[in-house]
Amino acid sequence: MDAEITLRVDGQRRTLSVDTRTTLLDALRERLGVISPKKGCDHGQCGACTVLLDGRRVTSCLTLAVAQDGAEVTTAEGLSEGDRPHPVQQAFLEHDGFQCGYCTPGQVCSAVGMLDEVKAGWPSHVTENLEEEPDLDDEEIRERMSGNLCRCGAYTNIVSAIREAAE
């Protein structure tokens, strides 16, 4: 069954007709040619497909495109301003926060969403006192980024990059 949907992707209005079975990830990659979100597991387990949906980080492989009709989607590609990388992207570059780069767009989107969550005062599983503003130390960064796997094991540099971007 087909449905007509409109998404705002990286600032651009895109209207398309999708089979209801299409995930947001497949709509972006296969239908709209937006290939920065990557398909790793396709089951919510790796984070490679992470995008910002109405400003919140989500796994785009487990949400249907048709359910996101009208939504604003930001991918890693849309984070930069022209040639100027987003501060989180810049920090990944400076700290070598990747090797093959496959997980990187997901890591970057996840980090951007995560930093907003910290700004909003959201606690995490390792936050000692649930009623205080969380303090983003390395343990917090690791816990909050645990939904993004990296097969190359670039974790140490990813944590350094995020630590710097948070400052």
Ligand X SMILES: Cc1cc2nc3c(=O)[nH]c(=O)nc-3n(C[C@H](O)[C@H](O)[C@H](O)COP(=O)(O)OP(=O)(O)OC[C@H]3O[C@@H](n4cnc5c(N)ncnc54)[C@H](O)[C@@H]3O)c2cc1C
State the residues that interact with ligand FES by CB under 6 A.
39-42, 44-49, 59, 61, 98-104, 150-152, 154
15 lies in the site for other proteins, by CB under 8 A: no
> Which parts of 26-45 interact with ligand X (CB under 6 A)?
44-45
Q: CB within 8 A of 167, min separation 6: which ones?
A: none
How many residues bind to other proteins according to rule CB under 8 A?
42
User: Residues in the chain, how many?
Assistant: 167
What tokens were used for 65?
């495109």
Contact at 8 Å (CB) between 40 and 62?
no
Name the residue nearer to other proteins (CB basis): 105 or 113: 113
**DSSP-based three-state secondary structure for 140:** helix
Name the residue nearer to ligand X (CB basis): 13 or 43: 43
What type of residue is 143? E
The contact mask relative to other proteins for 47-86 (x = CB under 8 A, - = no) is: x--x--x--xxxx--xxx-xx-x-----------------
Q: How far is the CB of 13 from ligand X (least distance, A)?
A: 27
What tokens were used for 151?
């097969």
Residue with tokens 């995930």: 23
Q: What is the binding site for ligand X (CB under 6 A)?
A: 44-45
